[in-house]
Amino acid sequence: MDFIFDGVALSDLGYVLAYDGLVSENAVVSSMTYNTVKPALFDVSRKTSHIYESNLTTTFTIMKNPCLFGDTFYMNNDEISELTKWLVRKQYKYFRFVDDEDTGDEVWFKVQNTVEKVKEGDHVIGLSITVNANAPYGFTRVINVSWDAQDRVPYDIIVRSDEEGYLFPDTILIPQASGTLNVWNKHDSIHSIIKNVTAGEVITLYGNGVHQITSSNPDHDLSSDFNYNFFRLCNEYGNATNTIVTNMNCNITLSYRGIRKVGL
C-alpha cells in the first residue's frame, strides 16, 4: 500500500507504510448529525438543520523500505527533515491512498499533516503521520465534461457525487454567436444569463465557493451584464441526471470534483 501527497508518492522516496499503523476496528465513513426540535405536545422530532461535526482523520506509520535499505532502517536527521518538508505544509494539499487493487476510481482528500517520531531507544525507526482532512468526506478526481451545445438541443450529464445538493463546477463558455447567452439546467431551472457576449469570447465561471466570472474580452462589463446565477449541477438520491440547454450554439466545458463518502 502506498499514498500520494501533493503529487509525490511515498514509494518514490523509498518508504513504505508500516502495517500495524493501518489496523483499526472502526473507521468513520460519514458523521452527519441532525439538529432537531420537538414541538409542544408532540413526541416526534423534526429536523431543523444538519451538520457534520468533525472532518475525517487517520493516523499511520511510515518506515524505510527494507527491500531498498536492508537492515539500515534507522532514520537520520536529514531524512526526517526531507520527509517533514514534504508532508508538513502551510496549505491543504491533495492526498490519496494507493494499493494493488486500485481500480482507477480515485478518492482524494484535501489534508494537513502532523508528524511525530517513532523511536526504538535512541534511534528513530519511523514517523507517525496524522492526516487531517479539511472536509467530512473525500472527493473524486477532477471530472471534465465538454460538448458543443446546440441552440435549444438538450444535453444530459450524470453527476458523480455521494452528497445530495448542488455542485458549482468551473464552467467555460465559448459562444458561437453574439448577443445574450442563456444557459440553464432543467433539473432546477436556474438560468445563467450573460448579455452582450461576442462570438469566440471565452467566459469562465469559477465555482467551488469562489464564485467569480472572467472574460477574454477586457471590454466586456460583466458586472452589469451577468445575472450572477452561477451555473450549478444538481444531485438527488435516485436522480443525478442534469439536462443542460442553451439559447445559442456554445462550446461548454465543466470541471468538478464529486463528493465521495468512503472514509479516510
Q: What is the pTM of this model?
A: 0.83
One-letter amino acid of 80: I
Residue 141: partners with Cβ closer than 8 Å, 6 or more residues away:
106, 108, 257
Please list the pLDDT of the chain residue by residue as tens digits (264 residues).
Answer: 899 999 999 999 999 998 654 444 555 666 667 666 777 767 677 766 667 678 999 999 999 998 887 777 899 999 999 999 999 999 999 999 997 665 667 899 999 999 999 998 899 999 999 999 999 999 999 999 999 999 999 999 999 999 999 999 999 999 999 999 999 999 988 999 999 999 999 999 999 888 999 999 999 999 999 999 999 999 999 999 999 999 999 999 999 999 999 888
What is the largest distance, in Å, between two alpha-carbon atoms of the chain?
A: 74
Report which of 43, 2, 46, 50 is spatially closest to residue 22, judged by C-alpha positions: 2
One-letter amino acid of 235: N
Sole residue written with cell 535512541: 122
- Enter the DSSP assignment of 213: E
- Enter the DSSP assignment of 231: -
Give kind and range of the element (H or E) at residue 124: strand 123-133
First to last CA, the chain: 14
One-letter amino acid of 19: Y
Q: What is the dihedral of CA 163, 1, 123, 127, to 10 degrees?
A: -10
Give me the domains of the chain, ranges plus CATH numbers: 2-137 (2.40.30.200), 140-260 (2.60.120.860)
C-alpha 202 chain-centroid distance? 25
One-letter amino acid of 225: D
Report which of 163, 130, 133, 143 is spatially closest to residue 263, judged by C-alpha positions: 133
Cα gap 66→137, rounded to integer Å: 34
For 55-87, b where at least 16 C-beta lie within 10 A, e where not — what string?
bbebebbbbbeeeeeeeeebbeeebeeebeebb
